[in-house]
Amino acid sequence: MANLLEQLRAMTVVVADTGDMEAMEKFRPQDATTNPSLITAASQMPQYQSIVDGVLIDALKELGDSADPKEVANLGFKRLAVAFGKKILKIVPGRVSTEVDARLSYDTEATIAQAREIIDQYDQAGIGRDRVLIKIASTWEGIKAAEVLEKEGIHCNLTLLFGLHQAIACAEAGVTLISPFVGRILDWYKKDTGKDYQGADDPGVKSVTTIFNYYKKFGYKTVVMGASFRNIGEIKELAGSDLLTISPQLLGELAAAEGELPRKLDPEAAKAMDIEKIAIDHDTFVKMHTADRMATDKLKEGIEGFSAALEKLETLLAKRITELEPVAAQ
């Protein structure tokens, strides 16, 4: 019998949730996702120092010797995620997700502008838009930005998604893909209730299952990519999801595990379910979000966490620039 990873691939697109390209080469996923925390971690790995240095040296040369190091770091920072993305696309046959600055999560226009900058870098590298997803936080402002971008042919991955209201708003906006965070939902409920959850009782699993069935019931084109897993039990309960993005550690556990993996999510079964359709406008979104303590807490926490990772990365880049200035001057 095939291992669990091979069985999963037969019904779900498997995506690698990492900035570590060696892990991607090992597991050969269809797609790859990155986020500020993953890029920051990868940037500190010796094997990827050449990518970081190349971006910074180009930024130094472009801005000139008199440029403020912070300005150089900021330009390098804007280009680093794309530099990783371009390398990743040489490994995976499908798409890479590159994230907009999390600090812009409540600014629709700034999110649109940075997304266009990111896609322009890929365009200039000759990489088609069908191979890139722009990651944006699932705030109301982020969803509205994605709605504009999708109409321009810029495909979006709406991340930090914790509630059905966010998912419905994304689908109504015509977003390409959403990334509901399974493990972070579990974390919140364990802390809030003091209980442990297993299998289908996992609140994160329940949330993604509800979203998947809602989408398939009403025929939305937006696809569901479960993310942020804490164990392979969560992954097994979501077998059949459109996509799942999985860390290298859990990919390894799935590859080493044997046994039968039954399909848990079925589009055809969802179509026959009795599900109420919900109309989402701004006021309804805000009302539902405010009423959902978990979604409110985790969205805020996620944006703050990614923002902190970006600030750490900017500090690391600024420090590295002082070491590289003599090299760039040659």
H or E element that contains 70? helix 69-88
Using the structure block, give the residue that is written with the tokens 């709605």: 147
What are the tokens at 236?
């097994």
Pair 32, 88: CB distance under 8 Å: yes
How many degrees, rounded to 5, is the angle at CA 176 between CA 307 and CA 188? Answer: 45
H or E element that contains 218? helix 203-218
User: Choosing from 70, 86, 135, 195, which is the catalytic residue?
Assistant: 135
Per-residue b/e over 115-141, b at no fewer than 16 CB within 10 Å?
bbebbebbeeeebeeebbbbbbbbbbb
Cα–Cα distances (Å) from 176 to 52, 62, 91, 309, in that order, read 30, 35, 22, 26
Measured CA to CA, the distance from residue 240 to residue 58 in angstroms comes to 44
Q: Is 158 exposed, middle or buried (0-12, 13-18, 19+ CB in 10 A)?
A: buried
The DSSP string of 96-137 is EEEEPPGGGTT-HHHHHHHHHHHHHHHHHTT--GGGEEEEEE
Active site residue 300: no
H or E element that contains 245? strand 243-246
Pair 197, 203: CB distance under 8 Å: yes
By annotation, the residues acting in catalysis are 135
